[in-house]
Structure 1
Amino acid sequence: MKASPSRIAVAIGVAAVLLLVIVMSPMLMTSIPSFIGSGGGDPADCKPGAVQGEEVSDTGVSDIPERMLELYKKHGEKIGVQWNVLAAVGKRETDHGRSDLPGVKSGTNYAGAAGPMQFLISTWGGKAQLSMSEEFNGYASDGDGDGIGDVYNPADAILGAAKMLKRNGAPENVRRALFVYNRAWWYVDQVMEIAGKYAKSGEVKVPPEADPLCDEPIVAGAPNDLVKRILAYALAQRGKPYLWGGTGPDAFDCSGIIYMAYQSVGLSIPRTTFTQWPFGVRINPGQEQPGDLVFFNAGPGTGPDNPGHVGLVVSKGKMVEARCRLCGPIKVTTYDDRTSLVGFTRPLMNPDVLEQLKKLQNTL
């Protein structure tokens, strides 16, 4: 889509107004949260893959059977959860399948759980072994490619556990995911302690996009201080749950977090995805920048020109997203690989926003 002369004029105008407001307005220059610009994490820890690259400690090498370690790493990387957390669950549940207690190698225990990762049969798919061609709503998984989801097969069980942890908050909110796995905080504490011992770093790391210490380069890449503050607000909401209609402070929906991020700098934009889509000026793919909105054809009653889902661009290819109730907490995700992507808009180029910026300037 080629920009019209009027849109070019608007773009020039907003740049001038933004520069004036950013230089002169005390409200728009209030401090960014303390974790921004605090020095950041080790650059090596902020690279993609840093979590899965976590080295195994001597304790991990000596305690985890070689085949099980291979599976924890393989399926952790495939699904996107920390391998040492998977390993810690396997240790806490069945000593990596070495336990002879009922339900580990056959049958179920007193609670109805089975296999090395101790899945309730009801959550696995209703029975211990089933063809992956069958219809089911559980976590039954085929980790070795034989077409069968076998709760007693470590390859299948570990893949299923990885999926369950991912769905419930990992890798960003590991404690929440573990609590859903086994609803006891003492269990969560024990698993986290084991996971720390299995990693050479001695801790459970979160991925770069979930670590506040890695926010500095994201925020620094924003085009101006106003957008930096919008990003800082949105990034600070990571880990909070999705709530339809939510505008915080404890939970948000997809458009609610964006609405409140703009409110945080004194700007009012429409509240819902359906009204945010026509509000901003359309931006050609590849020309989007931090602070822009990215829209998707997702949800009931939506279409190519009526998108039902939205994210806030924080860097090229990355967005802050409150996706859905079962999709885990608010997090930074990628948008380039989404087949439902509809387009991008820039709210800061809307004439109403330009007027709001002028009024903010006039209140000085």
Structure 2
Amino acid sequence: MGSKLGAAVAAVVLALPLLVGAGVAGIGSALFGGSGTSSLNCTPDGTTTGTVPGMTAEQMINAATIVAVGKQMGVPEPGWVVAIAAALQESKLRNLHYGDRDSLGLFQQRPSMGWGSPQQITTPTYAATKFFEHLTATPNWQTMSVNDAAQTVQGSGFPHAYAQHEDKARAVVAAVSGVRCQPTMAGTGDCNNIQAPNPAAMTAINYACGQRGLPYVWGGNGPLNGDAGFDCSGLTKAAYDAAGISLPRTAHTQYNAGPRVPDGSLLPGDLVFYGPPSKIRHVGLYLGNGKMLNAPTFGQPVQIDNYRYPGDDYAGATRPAEHHR
């Protein structure tokens, strides 16, 4: 990034914990299961200065955190500007442990108003997640001015105060948005210590782990549907049914339902497929650490296996939990 400050911003963003999923789900746990190895994997992408005149390292690091969270949540760039403008007004982009009444953190969110616990609100990734949740739930927010969009989230007693920060917010976003971030989570590959990037994936994995030992049954949909066990796609469909996500019934139709996962980007809860794309023959549920849960074939029960093996015909992966975000 061309400066010590820029390097500091990049280093902190590289180390950001992925607390986003918990915020989106509205549940208390910051990470879904275990101690976790989830992070935002961020790399430089284009020219970025990492500095803005008059801004401190602390402010720029907090700005980088906000933008990284917005990227991970799929919020478009105008939303980052709104969030930065709001934080400039509320805290001057500082993670304050004090404020008006019980207001705290970057956005001066209030525990008494349901924004979270004091510890959560003063965790920048959590605070940013909650801001973006409320922003993106606002109808037509992208057609609003920066000021009005920020005000819909914040409900400030000074409803026109955010406009004064718009230009600086754009400069800040330009300085830190040259960091490309993707969620990563290695996962454990172990049903006794499940990790997942979001509640839907966690529910699907937890369900499938509970079916270990049941027999392979061709066309089987599991005991809840009157069958002694599962076939491969019956298991994955039942797992995501438990998470409130409806999948097609066969491995081939599940593969075509998508959305596809780029090579090298697997997360726990992804579905992994085998066979030529014209005729997918098998599917498993990725656990992390190179492992999958699957109903392999006749005579073999639902079990954990390596998802890659010599001579396999691995076709790729999909991410059903993406539909639940």
- Shorter-normalised TM range: 0.3 to 0.5
Query: Given the two structures, how large is their TM-score scaled by the length of structure 1?
Result: 0.37
Greater Rg over alpha carbons, structure:
1
